[in-house]
A and B are shown apart, each in its own frame.
Chain A
Amino acid sequence: KNQVEQSPQSLIILEGKNCTLQCNYTVSPFSNLRWYKQDTGRGPVSLTIMTFSENTKSNGRYTATLDADTKQSSLHITASQLSDSASYICVVSERTSYDKVIFGPGTSLSVIP
């Protein structure tokens, strides 16, 4: 069964520190992997999209990596800000069909002063 797992479930860091969130998946055949940021009470917003051939993608202070061989991805946040407090969701798509999009449960990040 296709699955997406994320760790940790939640994380608290001090403002200005870096952090890394993990995503492991078993989706096959693989199409792309996306990271979304979801603020409380809002819809998810796309941060990065990576295909099989890409292993790094940056969006400002957010850098996503992908190892398609081990089926692992990470999202690194540099110099965290209070506004980074949110849920970060890893989403993996199968190559075959639009409806085969698997959402991970998310990592809840709290950045404190």
Chain B
Amino acid sequence: NAGVTQTPKFQVLKTGQSMTLQCAQDMNHEYMSWYRQDPGMGLRLIHYSVGAGITDQGEVPNGYNVSRSTTEDFPLRLLSAAPSQTSVYFCASSADMYNEQFFGPGTRLTVL
């Protein structure tokens, strides 16, 4: 099993550009989440999904969109990148809300 995979590993954008961060898992997990990690702060939840076709907002959803058309994939879209979105983004999956989350390797995004 590959676990949770994320692409790309690194990305540099200019202000106003859009892009999609990819996340996939092969563990048949229903729950998937996107987090951002900023220096000195805990991971913060951007969006999450409890199953295909179901998504909801987390703590910091502004500027991001998600969709969940399949159990395996949970892409995160930046609509119009801003320097404040410079961060490391992690995707995670779990079987349910009570079990451990498995995290991907992260995407380091810089917005100039």
A residues near B (Cβ < 8 Å) are 4, 31-32, 34, 41-46, 49, 89, 93, 97-99, 101-106
Contact = CB atoms under 8 A, between A and B. Distances in A.
B42 A105 contact: yes
Contact of B97 (A42, A45, A46, A98): A98
A30 B47 CA distance: 22
Interface of B: 4, 31, 35, 40-45, 48, 50, 56, 58-59, 90, 92, 97-106
B48 A99 contact: yes
Contacts of A103: 35, 42-44
A89 B42 contact: yes
Given A101-B45, A103-B44, A105-B41, A43 B90 contact: yes
Contacts of A49: 99-100
20 contacts: A32-B98, A42-B105, A43-B90, A43-B92, A44-B90, A45-B103, A46-B101, A49-B100, A89-B43, A93-B97, A98-B31, A98-B48, A98-B50, A99-B48, A99-B58, A99-B59, A103-B43, A103-B44, A104-B42, A105-B41
**Smallest CB-CB A-B distances: 4 pairs:** A43-B103, A103-B42, A46-B100, A98-B97
